């Protein structure tokens, strides 16, 4: 069961993503939301593990480790954003290739010479 | 009709460079292998936490092996790139820049700028995976301690969190390559 903190983090990330990608958002909608949800869960998990360690040193992990894990999460966010941009571009590239193919077929001689 | 044809030709002719780098089977396979190798290694080391075989010192060479593998993939990706970095959509670039604050990598460029090319993003994605491996190494060598007297280790809780996060960066590379292949 996702905690309210996870839900809040996830919603904020989704809104930021939609804003940043605008119309291209739908092209990556199956990949990005799943990754943003994982990030939200993991950020909450890091906080929980640091809290556990403070109570019992045999559980969770130290604040210092938690800080490095947060840096890792930031790096993962960059990976997801770069991949999302690439997925958008792949969709555009495929659309352009398909367009060029149709044009080649339709205007055989002339277009084939130019493209 | 002639104007329309001319416009379409100009549109297509105006984008001679591909928007994305071509599919690379070697990178896709290499990343899947790295995923298996890293996941096995981290779980193995976490199981041995607190024992001599779980210390950083006993495992430093295994990090070197994975790092070398990544260096080979990065070299392959960067050999196709112009070395001008990864070009992000302008709005995404702004968002990433504001999230990362002062630590925005110098080789990340917004789209629309002349710098940055389609192959640069492949290199960047692989470099991010390498960064993740470096972070796990740092935790193992420096911040996680187990047993009495305390020795370097990867605590099971750390291993679980670190793997989930690192796997996101690895998955990012394979998702992109798979999309190019399909």
Query: A83–B5: do the CB atoms touch at under 8 Å?
Result: no
Query: Is residue A13 over pLDDT 80?
Result: no
Q: Which of A61, A75, A82 sits opposite B155 (nearest CB)?
A: A61
Query: Which of 138-167 (B) contact A at CB < 8 A?
Result: 138-139, 143-144, 155, 157-158, 161-162, 164-166
State the pLDDT at residue A65. 98
Please tell me the predicted confidence (pLDDT) of residue B90.
Answer: 55
Task: For B86-127, write each residue's pLDDT tens digit.
Answer: 866 555 666 656 655 555 555 555 555 545 666 788 999 999
Residue B178 lies in a domain: yes
| Pair (B113, B44) in one structural domain | no
Burial class (CB in 10 A: 0-12, 13-18, 19+), B54: buried
| Separation between Cα atoms, residue A49 and residue A63, nearest integer Å | 9
| Residue-number span of the structural domain to which A84 is assigned | 4-90
Question: With a cut of 70, which residues of chain B have pLDDT below it?
Answer: 1-17, 83-84, 87-118
Q: Report the Cα–Cα distance between both ends of chain B, in Å, rounded.
A: 34
| DSSP three-state, residue B129 | helix
Domain boundary among B102, B118, B134: B118
What does the pLDDT look like over B7-17, one tens digit per residue? 555 555 544 56
Least CB–CB distance from B20: residue in A21, A86, A100: A86
* DSSP summary character for residue B104: -
ipTM passes above 0.90: no
Residue B48 domain boundaries: 23-81+122-182
Nearest CA-CA distance, residue B4 and chain A, Å: 12
A76 with B20: Cβ contact below 8 A: no
CA separation for the pair B172, B170 (Å, rounded): 5
The 8-class DSSP code of residue B48 comes to: T
The per-residue pLDDT for B101 is 58
Q: How many domains does chain A have?
A: 1
Confidence (pTM): 0.80
Domain annotation covers residue A101: no
Distance from CA of A66 to the nearest CA of B (A): 8
Give per-residue pLDDT as tens, A27-61: 566 788 889 889 999 999 999 999 999 999 999 99
């Amino acid at each position: 069961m996702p905690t309210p903190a996870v839900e809040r983090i996830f919603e904020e990330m989704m809104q930021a993503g939609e804003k940043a990608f605008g119309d291209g958002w739908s092209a990556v909608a199956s990949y990005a939301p799943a990754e943003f949800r994982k990030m939200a869960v993991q950020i909450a998990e890091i906080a929980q593990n640091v809290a556990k360690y403070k109570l019992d040193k045999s559980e969770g992990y130290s604040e210092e480790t938690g800080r490095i894990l947060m840096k890792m999460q930031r790096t993962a966010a960059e990976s997801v954003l770069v991949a999302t941009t690439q997925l958008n571009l792949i969709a555009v590239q495929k659309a352009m290739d398909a367009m060029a193919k149709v044009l080649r077929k339709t205007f055989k001689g002339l277009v084939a010479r130019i493209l | 009709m002639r104007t329309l044809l001319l416009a379409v030709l100009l549109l297509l002719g105006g984008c001679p460079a591909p928007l994305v780098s071509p599919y690379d089977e070697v990178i896709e396979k290499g990343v899947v292998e790295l995923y298996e190798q890293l996941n096995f290694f981290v779980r193995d080391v976490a199981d041995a936490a607190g024992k001599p075989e779980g210390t950083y010192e006993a495992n430093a060479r295994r990090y070197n092996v994975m790092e070398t593998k990544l260096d080979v993939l990065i070299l392959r990706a960067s050999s196709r790139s112009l070395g001008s970095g990864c070009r992000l959509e302008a709005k995404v670039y702004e968002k990433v820049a504001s999230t990362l604050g002062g630590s925005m990598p110098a080789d990340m460029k917004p789209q629309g700028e002349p710098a940055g090319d389609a192959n640069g993003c492949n290199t960047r994605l692989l470099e991010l995976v390498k960064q993740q491996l470096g972070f796990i190494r740092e935790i193992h060598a420096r911040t996680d301690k187990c047993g009495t007297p305390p020795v370097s280790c990867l605590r099971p809780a750390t291993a679980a969190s670190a793997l989930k996060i690192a796997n996101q960066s690895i998955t990012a590379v394979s998702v992109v390559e798979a999309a190019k292949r399909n």
